[in-house]
Structure 1
């Protein structure tokens, strides 16, 4: 988690590169995560499907232009801005779309342009026991859908399997349904990430109850930052899905909106769960502070009892430590022994009293 937070800080700082530039500039604000940009193309209709890995963007654009099938072009790697620019120019996309594709630190949103829809979403998945996030951009129009991601690996394998194996209705429907299916897969993996995050919180809670040491405090602050980041990433999805359902464009079909409405319900459920987890993290911090406070109170109680026990003993020792001439006890043969016995009895009586009061 700590390493991932550093990456996020670097991603934010990279936004400074755009300061003062005109809108619509093709400037990648993230970090290069793959060696070369790769292109994956799927073309399909009701009867057949073709899946290709393509070397050049020109080949991909030619392939899309020569087919009447539905086309899904997946672009992996955003650092080669010439490829993004070629796609934007070929499909007559708005320059702001090109800028948004390359600006990887955005909140989820939906923008409606003249002949296509631009969706930005945040994808979460589990890698090596950590929650990894990545911005996914989805552009779709009639018969064409394009996705952009920073690195290999995503949460769309089930969607690809449904397309290849012709499961359900996905091959019989249009690109609006494919866009819904991709968003639905993203939201489904929110639940997986949230479950993993919940397990992390439970482990911290157990550790906090068993051994509330100072070493756990940095982990608690890190988990709180993660909870806040997940909430900020997920919360705008509700508005995005809501706008998706209310789109009034020719390539948005009525039957798809029923599925999007269900997706909206899932999104609300995710937000509610994330809010509960964020409150749970705050509760852990309060529990830690209470544990530390209780431990300190116990230490102070012990020290206070010890001090209380020694107060009368110190008083007796102080009385007989005075250098007055007429102190008959000083010359008594058994004076020292009697004084020590009296001090021991007094100590035992005080300990018995403290135990009876359940202070010890």
Structure 2
């Protein structure tokens, strides 16, 4: 599907085109948003802007030369953008931006929320800007704002896990460390995808300011671009901090599991030592020799039982005094 955003009569209008590839672009068309397009739709846009549209396989390539380049007067930039599909699942997908003259083309196979939000703001007239570079920068700002929200949510998730590990673990109900490790893994996956997305956007902003400079307006665009670069850098630093924190929480959880296992092994070890002397006494008096004086004693049986109890209690008291139990 193609959504065509055109600036006409002082306002933005959006028109959706699905399968109709023989139409001419409306007057004032600036932003062509391709969402999971077919080959006919991609060919239609390529003819309209006079430049090739990359394939989905080309978008997945990770080397910088395949993601950031200029060709036939058009500037191609591909970044990894995040979409929150569920509260505990984030999807990372490549999105390509093409600056071709007065038109901006976005090619995507996902539904990131910043695109929907920015398009709504554009229709309401509060997004600002009328040119393709303005729209592209506005989109990037909306994407970075959304990434900042995801970074904040991930930080809150890490804080919640930390509270559960170090506070709730002391309560009567204890702590489900297996669930904690699962949650840590989810937050760690989020951090990895955030780092990948922010790194790709940072490279894209740098390329946009350097290689694509002649295509950009000279008004407030450079300052907005520098601000966006600083925001991206600060988010990358914060994501690095979150990565270290999640690694610490994982190590702490695994350490607590080891402590629990050691406590269980210690209990069995102490139990074996406590019951070893009574077992020895029972073994001695269980031998079938013909002449064992204690067996003929009137109080031999209760004395043997008492000796077994004492031999079990003394090690237990000793271990308690050493705080081994």
| 1:175 alignment partner, one of 132, 135, 141 | 132
> CA shift at 1:215, angstroms?
5.9
- Compare 192-201 and 310-319 and name the one that shifted more: 192-201
Counterparts in 2 of 1:46 and 1:177: CA distance versus 1, 3 Å? farther
> CA shift at 1:112, angstroms?
2.4
Question: Partners of 1:51 and 1:148 in 2: how far apart?
Answer: 17
Question: Partners of 1:106 and 1:269 in 2: how far apart?
Answer: 26
Q: Do structure 1's residue 212 and structure 2's residue 212 form an aligned pair?
A: no
> CA shift at 1:264, angstroms?
0.9
Q: 1:120 aligns to what?
A: 78
**CA deviation profile, 1:44-103 (whole Å, cap 9, x unmatched):** 2683333322342332xx234xx3x4611112223x112212322442214xx423x564
Q: 1:256 aligns to what?
A: 221
Query: In the alignment, is the contact (CA less than 8 A) between 2:94 and 2:108 conserved in 1?
Result: yes
Map 1:102-117 → 2, pairs under 5 A = 103-107=58-62, 109-117=67-75
Query: In the alignment, is the contact (CA less than 8 A) between 1:212 and 1:292 conserved in 2?
Result: no
Query: In the alignment, is the contact (CA less than 8 A) between 2:99 and 2:133 conserved in 1?
Result: yes
Query: In the alignment, is the contact (CA less than 8 A) between 2:2 and 2:32 conserved in 1?
Result: yes
| 2:122 alignment partner, one of 153, 160, 163 | 163
Q: TM-score, normalised by structure 2?
A: 0.83
Question: Partners of 2:47 and 2:9 in 1: how far apart?
Answer: 30
Q: 2:31 aligns to what?
A: 72
| 1:85 alignment partner, one of 43, 50, 71 | 43
> CA shift at 1:311, angstroms?
1.8
Question: Partners of 2:77 and 2:25 in 1: how far apart?
Answer: 24
Q: Do structure 1's residue 185 and structure 2's residue 142 form an aligned pair?
A: yes
**CA deviation profile, 1:208-239 (whole Å, cap 9, x unmatched):** 54433546655554554443344333322222
Task: Provide the alpha-carbon RMSD of the alignment.
Answer: 2.8
Query: In the alignment, is the contact (CA less than 8 A) between 2:80 and 2:200 conserved in 1?
Result: no
Counterparts in 2 of 1:125 and 1:290: CA distance versus 1, 3 Å? same
Question: Partners of 1:214 and 1:40 in 2: how far apart?
Answer: 46
Q: 2:305 aligns to what?
A: 340
Q: Do structure 1's residue 48 and structure 2's residue 11 form an aligned pair?
A: yes
Question: Partners of 2:12 and 2:47 in 1: how far apart?
Answer: 27
Q: 1:98 aligns to what?
A: 54
Q: 2:25 aligns to what?
A: 63
Q: 2:233 aligns to what?
A: 268
> CA shift at 1:258, angstroms?
0.9
Counterparts in 2 of 1:295 and 1:238: CA distance versus 1, 3 Å? same
Q: TM-score, normalised by structure 1?
A: 0.76
Query: In the alignment, is the contact (CA less than 8 A) between 1:39 and 1:57 conserved in 2?
Result: no
> CA shift at 1:168, angstroms?
6.3
Question: Partners of 2:244 and 2:199 in 1: how far apart?
Answer: 15
